[in-house]
Structure 1
Amino acid sequence: MDKLQAMEVFVQVVDSGGFTRAAEHMHMPKATVSTLIQALETALSVKLLNRTTRRVSVTADGAAYYERCLRILADVQDTEESLSSSHASPSGRLRVDVPTGLGLQVIIPALPQFFVRYPDLVLEMGCGDRPVDLIEEGIDCVVRAGELADSSLIARRVGALSFATCAAPSYIERYGRPLHPNDLLRHQCVNYFSAKTGNILEWDFAKQGERIQIALPGTIAVNNSDAYMAAGLSGLGVMQAATFALQQHLDAGRLELLLTEWCTDPLPLHVVYPQNRHLSAKVRAFVEWIAELFTDSPALQIAQPKPAGR
């Protein structure tokens, strides 16, 4: 038995929550995964995993062994990368997940430069607005906006999203311009609901110490940033969107800014990854590249969009 390989398989089984997903992530037969775990338990004379027909859970001995395996595997990987002549060029498959709008408008257009720098990486990028479970789904890292709830993950702040209120000219022509956030109670608004909770998000405004947080009426609510933008562009209502996504539409006259004296709370942008991936050269490469990309993108810092024509 290759003890190091068996440790890697054990860690993946624990991270994935089962033999089938571990086998898929490691591109090996499920029978091989099962055989390696059995051999590892025999060699250690302890039971590492509890197995049922529905799930796999780690035993107390298995949990302690898992923590040791993480440190050992991280040390081995770090040592290999520091001694390898090719450590400056990470290789292998990298699985990431990013918000739809950021992926389509900022990250994907810049990927040619990423692959020039890291030609040996193969990127699998999910673009969506739903929350993902990095461990359960075998994802190396994600880019996320907002405050982070899971303290077991490592996060690096790489930027911020600022927001502005706007509407299509067709909507303004029909319903007029709101002059105060409370005026929106008499308007139609495009709402956004959480893919995790199903709750419609409230709108927030601030001006010279005055803060307003309200739920607004609307005939449509969506949970995807592309759908949200499409609804606003179609004149379905007032919208509040990230400035990086608005500017091209403002410049083209497809949207007009509203309530420009009122600002909204910015959302921090983080790259998030599991603790056991923090020494991975490929994750480190992607994190550094994203941080550089966002730093060079003024729209991903705290800023208001320019009015059309300026």
Structure 2
Amino acid sequence: MEMLNDMELFVEVVKVMSFRRASEATGVPNSTVSRRISALEKAIGLRLLHRTTRKIELTEAGQIYYDRCRRIVEEARLAHEELGDILAQPSGLLRASLPVDFAINYMVPLLIEFAEQYPDIRFEFDLTPRRVDLVAEPFDVAIRIGEQKDSNLIARLLANLPAHLYASPTYLEKHGAPSHPQELIQHQCLGFPRNGVWTLHNFEAEEKVEVNVSGRFMLNNVGMIRRLAAFGQGIVLLPQEVVTEDLAEGHLCRILPQWQGVPVPVYALTETRLLPAKTQRFIEFLRDRMR
């Protein structure tokens, strides 16, 4: 990078054939210009410029070097300008890995709205349950729910989604509705394996309880947990964004409304902090809408 900067400075000097005018054009002090050109000549091992008290002239080696450097510097400038255009007008193919059920039940309207805002972006979504490798696979971003294990990936928090308690009318008719979180011990609760403790908060009463829940079904798929709850198989603790459709259709209803679980974080994961415009705008859009 330092050599490219010196090449660019050399090109400026040759264009105006003056250290002083090159200094004025670039904002680099005159003494620094002279020193860097001398260092460039020393690094190459050839004199590039003949210097006199009145003028400077290109040597034969300097002319050859200038012809090559001018093209290289111009290509670099064009590359920066092109990337600037991409940043200003996001376009291209955006490859994203999305959580299956969260994407289907909540994100579809957001994705459509984003696509309408940026008509030059095309999309390729991976909704398989596997965790894609952002380093080895050609994905721009992965959206993930829940706390993330430490890694070399860059995690940007999009939102914290409060978790609430839900059950189907069928389940409540058969088993009754709990009046306090401690009564969940007596109910069928649907959740993830190795996660048998639900922490619930009543912020108005400034009360917190931890309940050891259990049930016949323990599984690691949010979509199936939601479906089992809708079919009357137990109580769930999930963000509203996951069960919006079931609530609207009356398959689930909220219970113990004054209580809520620990908010569930949603992250956008990328391999690097240096993002193309399409990815940067996508993350910014989701953060804005989800909050």
TM over 0.5: yes
The amino acid of 1:243's aligned partner reads: Q
- Deviation per CA, 1:138-187, whole angstroms, max 9, x where unpaired? 32211222333335222222222111112111111111111222212211
Q: Any unmatched runs of 5+ in structure 2?
A: 1-75
**CA displacement at 1:219 relative to structure 2:** 1.1
- Equivalent of 1:265 in 262, 267, 278: 262
State which structure, 1 or 2, has the greater radius of gyration over its C-alpha atoms.
2
TM-score by length of 1: 0.60
Map of 2:166 onto structure 1: 166
Change (3 A) 1:91 1:251: closer
1:183 aligns with 2:183: yes
Change (3 A) 1:228 1:261: same
**CA displacement at 1:260 relative to structure 2:** 2.1
Map of 2:277 onto structure 1: 281
1:192 aligns with 2:188: no
Alignment of structure 1 residues 123-138 onto 2, 5 Å? 123-138=123-138
Change (3 A) 1:186 1:76: farther
- Determine if contact 1:77/1:279 at 8 Å carries over to the other structure: no
Cα distance in 2, alignment partners of residues 228 and 78 from structure 1? 50
- Equivalent of 2:229 in 209, 228, 232: 232
- Deviation per CA, 1:59-100, whole angstroms, max 9, x where unpaired? xxxxxxxxxxxxxxxx9998244444x543333322211222
Cα distance in 2, alignment partners of residues 212 and 225 from structure 1? 23
Change (3 A) 1:126 1:190: same
Cα distance in 2, alignment partners of residues 242 and 166 from structure 1? 10
Change (3 A) 1:157 1:78: farther
Q: Any unmatched runs of 5+ in structure 1?
A: 1-74, 194-198, 296-310
Change (3 A) 1:201 1:281: farther
Change (3 A) 1:77 1:206: farther
- Determine if contact 2:161/2:265 at 8 Å carries over to the other structure: yes
- Determine if contact 1:94/1:123 at 8 Å carries over to the other structure: yes
- Determine if contact 1:205/1:262 at 8 Å carries over to the other structure: yes
Map of 2:146 onto structure 1: 146
Cα distance in 2, alignment partners of residues 111 and 151 from structure 1? 27
- Determine if contact 1:129/1:223 at 8 Å carries over to the other structure: no
1:256 aligns with 2:253: yes
Change (3 A) 1:119 1:206: same
- Determine if contact 1:129/1:225 at 8 Å carries over to the other structure: no
The amino acid of 2:243's aligned partner reads: L
Cα distance in 2, alignment partners of residues 77 and 252 from structure 1? 55
Instruction: Describe the SS at the equivalent of 1:134.
Output: coil
Cα distance in 2, alignment partners of residues 268 and 220 from structure 1? 24
Map of 1:243 onto structure 2: 240
TM-score by length of 2: 0.64
Aligned length: 214
The amino acid of 1:142's aligned partner reads: A
Alignment of structure 1 residues 1-310 onto 2, 5 Å? 79-84=80-85, 87-193=87-193, 199-200=194-195, 202-207=197-202, 208-275=205-272, 278-295=274-291
Percent identity of the aligned residues? 30
Change (3 A) 1:87 1:251: closer
Change (3 A) 1:78 1:217: farther
Change (3 A) 1:131 1:203: farther
